Structure 1
Amino acid sequence: MAISLDKAFGIHPESMALRIKRSEVLSSNIANADTPGYKAKDFDFQAALSGAKKQYSTSMARTNDRHIGASSSIDNSLQFRTPLQADTGDGNTVELQQERMEFLKNQLGYNASVQFLTGRIKGIKNALKGGQG
């Protein structure tokens, strides 16, 4: 009996990839907190994950190298964040506390996916060993 890793891992690998990309975007915002004119960016994680779920459920195998693979681009969905506070005069829209909070929430979600996948991998290893453990 073959083990389907796609079924075993579910959407978690796609979720982790999205969270890594979001960490990069949020890190860029934090790094540019003092850059005049910098506009904070982000993307809707839930919408991106929903797109990944849709792609996951309707994925098709490529039978030829010349076939076009289905993929989604986060870069096209990046949006400028609307600041909660008034402009300080330099045009920078980064609100450091908000960015740090979003970064932390994103990291917690990433860690949850890692723990889920670790548990699944341990379960698969036990199944392959015959339940010995």
Structure 2
Amino acid sequence: MIGKLDDYLRFNETALSLRSQRQQLLASNIANADTPGYKARDIDFTAALQGAMAKSAGPAGTLKTTSPSHLNGATGNPDILPNGTPVQYRGQVQGAVDGNTVDMDVERNQFADNALRYEAGITLINSQIRGLMAAIQGGQ
């Protein structure tokens, strides 16, 4: 029974988790807008979500390891998120003398867009839970 509930909520839970990680990357870009040599980072959300859903679909393709550190490239690597999503670097839109690639207009737009989509995800999960509660209570 719990497995079916997990399956029912998995998509939105995975999407919210990725949105949260993306928000951290975007906030880091904004915080480092004046750091010389800083390269703006982001993820391909669609590819990351597809990859995360494929991994959560089942244990098929999972390799057996004898140590927790085997084949774990995500540990301590700033170019890979904890869930294995590769972090990409944005190209330089406008030349900067210090080598910084953060464009504040782009970052603010991406930050606001991601925040709105995160809120929409929360709303969808709340709706799913309300629907489950109505089914459990018999629609009273």
Query: Which interval holds the TM-score relative to the shorter structure?
Result: 0.7 to 0.9
Indicate the residue corresponding to 1:122 in structure 2: 130
Count of residues in Structure 1 that have an aligned counterpart in Structure 2:
123
With normalisation by structure 1, the TM-score equals: 0.81
- Displacement of 1:59 in angstroms is 4.2
Indicate the residue corresponding to 1:23 in structure 2: 23
Indicate the residue corresponding to 2:46 in structure 1: 46
Are 2:118 and 1:110 aligned?
Answer: yes
CA distance in 2, matches of 1:49, 1:96: 26
**Aligned Cα root-mean-square deviation (Å):** 2.3
Residue 29 of structure 2 aligns with an amino acid whose one-letter code is: N
CA distance in 2, matches of 1:67, 1:92: 39
Q: Which segments of 5 or more consecutive residues in structure 1 lack a partner in the other structure?
A: 61-65
Are 2:87 and 1:78 aligned?
Answer: yes
Q: Cα distance 1:39–1:67, how it changes in 2: closer, same or farther (>3 A)?
A: closer
Runs of 4+ in structure 1 off by over 6 angstroms are none
Are 1:34 and 1:92, in contact at CA under 8 Å, matched by a contact in 2?
yes
- Displacement of 1:84 in angstroms is 1.6
Moved more, 34-43 or 19-28: 34-43
CA distance in 1, matches of 2:73, 2:118: 20
Q: Percent identity?
A: 41
SS at match of 2:133: helix
With normalisation by structure 2, the TM-score equals: 0.78
- Displacement of 1:34 in angstroms is 1.0
List per-residue Cα deviations over 1:90-115 (Å, max 9, x = no partner). 11110000011111111121111111
- Displacement of 1:7 in angstroms is 2.9
Q: Which segments of 5 or more consecutive residues in structure 2 lack a partner in the other structure?
A: 61-65, 75-79
CA distance in 2, matches of 1:129, 1:59: 34
CA distance in 2, matches of 1:72, 1:38: 23
Indicate the residue corresponding to 2:77 in structure 1: none
